[in-house]
Structure 1
Amino acid sequence: MGPADAQSDAVAGSSQLPAVTVNPPETRPRSRPKPPRRQQTARTVSAVQPTAPVPPQVRGGVTSESATAGPAYMQPTAASALTISGAEVNARPFSRPGEALEVVPGLIVTQHSGEGKANQYFLRGFNLDHGTDLSIKVDGMPVNMPTHGHGQGYADINFMIPELIQSVNVRKGPYFADVGDFGSAGALAIDYINKLPKNILETTNGSFGYHRGLAAGSTAVGAGTLLAAVEGVKYNGPWDVPDNVRKLNGVLRYSQGTSTDGFTLSAMAYSNGWNSTDQVAQRAIDQGVIGRFGSLDPTDGGVASRLSLSSNWAQSSEYGQSKVNAYVINSSLRLYNNFTYFLDDPVNGDQFSQMDRRTVYGLNASHAFDMRVGGIETQTRIGLQTRADDIRVGLFKTLQRETLSTVREDSVREGNVGLWADTTARWTDWLRTTIGIREDYFAGRVIGDTPENSGNAQASMTSPKAGIVLGPWYKTEFYGNAGYGLHSNDIRGATITVDPIDKVTPQDRVPLLVRSKGAEIGIRTRALEGLTSSLAVFVLNFDSELLFVGDAGTTEPSRPSRRVGVEWTNQYQVLPWMKLDLDLAYTRARFTDFDPAGNFIPGAPAWVAAGGVTFGGDTGWFGALRGRYFGPRPLIEDDSVRSQSSLIFNARAGYRFDNELKLQLDVLNLFNAKTNQIEYYYLSRLPGEPIGGVADRHVHPAEPLAVRLTLAGRF
Structure 2
Amino acid sequence: MASAVLGSLFAGTTAQAQQEKKEPQEQAVQSVVVEASRVSQIGIADTASAGVITQKQLEARTVYRAGELLEAAPGLIVSQHSGEGKANQFYLRGFNLDHGTDLRTTVDGMLVNQRSHAHGQGWTDLNFMIPELATRLEYRKGPYFADEGDFSSAGAVSVRYANVLPEGIASVGIGSNGFRRTLLANSPVVGNGHLLYALELFRNDGPFLVGDDYRKINGVLRYSEGNAASGFNLSAMGYHGSWHSTDQVPSRAVADGSLGRYAAVDQTDGGSAYRYSLSGEWHRNSETTSTLVNAYMIHNRLDLFSNFTYFLDDPVNGDQFGQPDRRVTTGINASQLWRTTLLGRESENKVGVQLQNDNIFNGLYSTVAQQRISGTRDDHIVESSAALFVENTTRWTDTFRTIAGLRADYFRFDVNSKLTPANSGSANDSKLNPKLNLVFGPWNKTEYYFNVGGGFHSNDARGATISVDPKTGDAADKVSPLVRSKGIEVGLRTEIIPGLQSSLSLYRLDFDSELTFAGDAGTTEAGRPSRRTGFEFSNYYKPTNWLTIDADVAFARARFRDVDVVGQRIPGAVEGVASLALAVDNLGPYFGALQLRYFGPRPLLEDNSVRSQGTATLNGRFGYKLNASTKIELEGYNLTNRRDAAIDYYYASRLPGEPAAGVNDIHFHPIESRSFRVSLNTTF
Question: So what's the TM-score if we normalise by structure 1?
Answer: 0.90
Distance 1:298 1:387 in 2: 38
User: 1:15 and 1:615, CA in 2 relative to 1: closer, same or farther beyond 3 A?
Assistant: closer
2:346 match: 377
Contact 1:677–1:700, Cα closer than 8 Å, also in 2: yes
Instruction: After superposition, give the CA deviation of every residue in 1:89-148 in whole Å (9 maximum; x if it has no partner).
Output: 121111111112111100010001011000000000000000000000001100000000
2:652 match: 683
User: 1:64 and 1:574, CA in 2 relative to 1: closer, same or farther beyond 3 A?
Assistant: closer
Q: How many angstroms does 1:554 deviate by?
A: 8.8
User: 1:27 and 1:393, CA in 2 relative to 1: closer, same or farther beyond 3 A?
Assistant: closer
1:487 match: 457
The gaps in structure 2 that reach 5 residues or longer are 20-33
Distance 1:465 1:555 in 2: 29
Contact 2:342–2:394, Cα closer than 8 Å, also in 1: no
Contact 1:619–1:658, Cα closer than 8 Å, also in 2: no
Q: How many angstroms does 1:456 deviate by?
A: 0.4
Partner residue of 1:646 out of 615, 620, 631:
615
Contact 2:309–2:520, Cα closer than 8 Å, also in 1: no
Q: How many angstroms does 1:260 deviate by?
A: 2.9
Distance 1:587 1:677 in 2: 19
Contact 1:611–1:627, Cα closer than 8 Å, also in 2: yes
2:26 match: none
Of structures 1 and 2, the one scoring higher in RCO (CA 8 A, sep 6+) is 1
Which secondary structure does the structure 1 equivalent of 2:443 belong to?
coil
Distance 2:425 2:59 in 1: 47
How do 1:21-40 residues align onto structure 2 when only pairs under 5 Å count? none
2:504 match: 535
Distance 1:642 1:27 in 2: 46
Q: How many angstroms does 1:431 deviate by?
A: 0.5
- 1:460 maps to a residue whose letter is S
User: 1:136 and 1:229, CA in 2 relative to 1: closer, same or farther beyond 3 A?
Assistant: same
Distance 2:515 2:162 in 1: 41
1:309 match: 278
1:585 match: 554
How do 1:393-412 residues align onto structure 2 when only pairs under 5 Å count? 393-412=362-381
Distance 1:546 1:671 in 2: 35
2:470 match: 500
- 1:476 maps to a residue whose letter is T
2:279 matches 1:300: no
The alignment of Structure 1 onto Structure 2 pairs a total of residues equal to 666
Contact 1:493–1:548, Cα closer than 8 Å, also in 2: no
- 1:481 maps to a residue whose letter is N
Partner residue of 1:242 out of 203, 211, 231:
211
Contact 1:499–1:507, Cα closer than 8 Å, also in 2: yes
Partner residue of 1:415 out of 384, 391, 411:
384
- 1:479 maps to a residue whose letter is Y
Contact 1:395–1:553, Cα closer than 8 Å, also in 2: no
Q: How many angstroms does 1:647 deviate by?
A: 1.3
Instruction: After superposition, give the CA deviation of every residue in 1:352-394 in whole Å (9 maximum; x if it has no partner).
Output: 0001000000000001111112212111111000000000011
Distance 1:525 1:545 in 2: 34
Q: How many angstroms does 1:317 deviate by?
A: 2.7
2:533 matches 1:564: yes
Partner residue of 1:463 out of 433, 439, 443:
433
1:168 match: 137
Partner residue of 1:198 out of 159, 162, 167:
167
How do 1:698-713 residues align onto structure 2 when only pairs under 5 Å count? 698-713=667-682
Distance 1:548 1:390 in 2: 25
- 1:463 maps to a residue whose letter is N
Contact 1:684–1:696, Cα closer than 8 Å, also in 2: yes
Distance 2:106 2:512 in 1: 26
User: 1:545 and 1:88, CA in 2 relative to 1: closer, same or farther beyond 3 A?
Assistant: closer
2:221 matches 1:270: no
Which secondary structure does the structure 2 equivalent of 1:283 belong to?
helix
Distance 2:332 2:609 in 1: 48
Contact 1:476–1:526, Cα closer than 8 Å, also in 2: yes
2:294 match: 325
Contact 2:308–2:522, Cα closer than 8 Å, also in 1: no
2:633 matches 1:664: yes
1:368 match: 337
How do 1:190-229 residues align onto structure 2 when only pairs under 5 Å count? 190-229=159-198
2:27 match: none
Moved more, 618-627 or 377-386: 618-627
Contact 2:7–2:39, Cα closer than 8 Å, also in 1: no
1:69 match: none
- 1:361 maps to a residue whose letter is T
The gaps in structure 1 that reach 5 residues or longer are 1-9, 30-57, 66-71
Q: How many angstroms does 1:472 deviate by?
A: 0.7
Which secondary structure does the structure 2 equivalent of 1:88 belong to?
helix
Q: How many angstroms does 1:546 deviate by?
A: 7.6
2:259 matches 1:279: no
Distance 1:270 1:554 in 2: 25
Contact 2:308–2:519, Cα closer than 8 Å, also in 1: no
Runs (4+) of structure 1 exceeding 3 A deviation are 10-16, 23-29, 58-65, 545-557
